[in-house]
Amino acid sequence: MDMTRNAAAVSLPVPAEITQIREEIEDVKTFYFRFEDPELERSFPIRSGQFVMCTVFGAGEFAVSLPWSPEQDRRHLSVRSVGKVTSALHGLRVGDKIGIRGPFGNGFPFAELSGRNLIYVAGGIGLIPLRSSIVHALLHREDFGRIILLYGAKSSRELMYRPNIEEWRKRDGFETYVTIDRPEPGWDGETGFVHTLIEKANVPIENTTAFVCGPPVMFNAVIGELSRRGLKDDCIISTLERHMKCGIGKCQHCAIGRTLVCTDGPVYTYKQIKTLGETI
Ligand SMILES: Cc1cc2nc3c(=O)[nH]c(=O)nc-3n(C[C@H](O)[C@H](O)[C@H](O)COP(=O)(O)OP(=O)(O)OC[C@H]3O[C@@H](n4cnc5c(N)ncnc54)[C@H](O)[C@@H]3O)c2cc1C
């Protein structure tokens, strides 16, 4: 891709067509899309953990994680309808146009993770920002030690990416543990909060990096359990979500002290998050 195209994708939304919409869970839909520009469609380089700004024409723009992996997968965004722009997106149909700006942000530090055990701990839609990294790690399985997913949701109806989870369960060398908060008819899997899976999975602590994404109450319980077992703060990684406007470090909307989440983040170690004096 030449520099002009790259600059255009960063400063101006480029048009893309919605090709498929999947109802994921209540209020969350996955939108598959393709760029109108064949050059961008061929090459839109991303790193796991980055995000884009998505425009819904006539409604506005919002920040959204990239769930697809750098190597494979159709491009898609998984979005919860929470307000003005995301609900306008939910009103779109296959064939409608959206705009995409990006990709932005630092992404997960895969260069530093070679040879390490990777533990993914997600609650609810916290699986969205981790999906790309999980697929990436599985495609490079030989580069890592144990790869474990611990995933929890309030109920079975709130589990994201169920077809993916079923497929991952069958993969050699990928340990998948899924729990829902309370027993329910027809569910024969684990029950209880996601942090209880840390013990069930006998999660290693030496040479381990944990990716943790989910609501604050879940994040705090998981961090508490991992720390109690001896995992250091700089071996825990998460992503911060702050209201964003420009995505390129100009408008300061997402500033937390000295850091701009759009350019320095959204990926931070827990050690950095503590220094910022921030909460998830
Ligand atoms: C890096 C990043 C990645 C994200 N990835 C995803 C994703 O993959 N899928 C997804 O569904 N959402 C994601 N979000 C959140 C998404 O950007 C917001 O839900 C969206 O901006 C809401 O826009 P709206 O116009 O629909 O809601 P609004 O009408 O603007 O707001 C609705 C409500 O949500 C609150 N709100 C809006 N944005 C945020 C925010 N960023 N943090 C906390 N509260 C907020 C508002 O204060 C208000 O109460 C991400 C955010 C960031 C910063």
Higher pLDDT pick, 147 / 6: 147
Asked whether 83 lines ligand 1 (CB < 6 A), one says: yes
138 and 91 in a common domain: no
Instruction: Report the nearest-CA residue for atom 31 of ligand 1.
Output: 83
Q: Does residue 273 fall inside a structural domain?
A: no
Q: Does residue 271 fall inside a structural domain?
A: no
* Number of domains observed in the structure of the chain: 2
Question: What six digits make up the tokens of 154?
Answer: 């309030």
**CA 65–ligand 1 middle distance (angstroms):** 11
Q: What is the pLDDT of residue 71?
A: 87
Q: Does residue 211 fall inside a structural domain?
A: yes
Q: What is the pLDDT of residue 176?
A: 96
213-218 average pLDDT score: 93
Q: What is the pLDDT of residue 2?
A: 42
51-65 b/e (C-beta count within 10 Å ≥ 16 → b)? bbbbbbeebbbbbbb
Residue where a domain terminates, one of 104, 137, 169: 104
Q: What is the pLDDT of residue 278?
A: 63
**CA 140–ligand 1 middle distance (angstroms):** 31
Q: pTM for the complete prediction?
A: 0.92
68-90 average pLDDT score: 94
| Angstrom distance (rounded) from CA 192 to CA 184 | 12
43-67 average pLDDT score: 95
Does residue 4 surpass a pLDDT of 50? Answer: no
**Which range of residues forms the domain containing residue 15?**
3-104
Asked whether 216 lines ligand 1 (CB < 6 A), one says: no
**CA 81–ligand 1 middle distance (angstroms):** 9
Mutate to test the pocket of ligand 1, among 243, 245, 279 (most ligand atoms within 8 A of CB): 243
Q: From the alpha carbon of 254, which atom of ligand 1 is closest? A: 53
Q: Is-contact 35 100, C-beta < 8 A?
A: yes
**CA 63–ligand 1 middle distance (angstroms):** 7
Give the CATH number, domain containing residue 38: 2.40.30.10
Q: How sure is the predictor about 280, in pLDDT bands with cuts at 50, 70 and 90?
A: low
**CA 146–ligand 1 middle distance (angstroms):** 33
**CA 156–ligand 1 middle distance (angstroms):** 24
Give the CATH number, domain containing residue 159: 3.40.50.80
Helices and strands per DSSP (H, E), number in the chain: 8, 15
98 and 125 in a common domain: no
Q: Which residue has the tokens 């899924």?
A: 178
Q: From the alpha carbon of 28, which atom of ligand 1 is closest? A: 11
196 and 94 in a common domain: no
Q: How sure is the predictor about 80, in pLDDT bands with cuts at 50, 70 and 90?
A: very high
Asked whether 128 lines ligand 1 (CB < 6 A), one says: yes
Mutate to test the pocket of ligand 1, among 85, 86, 259 (most ligand atoms within 8 A of CB): 86
Question: What six digits make up the tokens of 195?
Answer: 């942090």
- Region of poorest pLDDT, from 121-130, 221-230, 263-272: 263-272
Residue 188: C-alpha distances to residues 66, 124, 178, 258 (Å) = 31, 19, 11, 48
Instruction: Report the nearest-CA residue for atom 53 of ligand 1.
Output: 241
Q: What is the pLDDT of residue 244?
A: 86
Q: What is the pLDDT of residue 5?
A: 46
179 and 73 in a common domain: no
Higher pLDDT pick, 225 / 252: 225
Q: What are 139-175's pLDDT values in tens digits?
A: 999 999 999 999 999 999 999 999 999 999 998 899 9
Q: What are 232-266's pLDDT values in tens digits?
A: 999 999 998 888 888 888 888 888 888 888 888 89
- Number of other CB atoms surrounding residue 145 within 10 Å: 16
Instruction: Report the nearest-CA residue for atom 24 of ligand 1.
Output: 83
Asked whether 47 lines ligand 1 (CB < 6 A), one says: no
Q: What are 18-52's pLDDT values in tens digits?
A: 999 999 999 999 999 999 999 999 889 899 999 99
Q: What are 174-215's pLDDT values in tens digits?
A: 999 999 999 999 999 999 999 999 999 999 999 999 999 999
Does residue 8 surpass a pLDDT of 80? Answer: no
Q: From the alpha carbon of 266, which atom of ligand 1 is closest? A: 1
- 3-state DSSP: the chain helix, strand, coil percent, rounded to 5? 30, 30, 40
Q: Does residue 263 fall inside a structural domain?
A: no
Does residue 109 surpass a pLDDT of 70? Answer: yes
Q: How sure is the predictor about 7, in pLDDT bands with cuts at 50, 70 and 90?
A: low
Q: What is the mean pLDDT of the chain?
A: 92
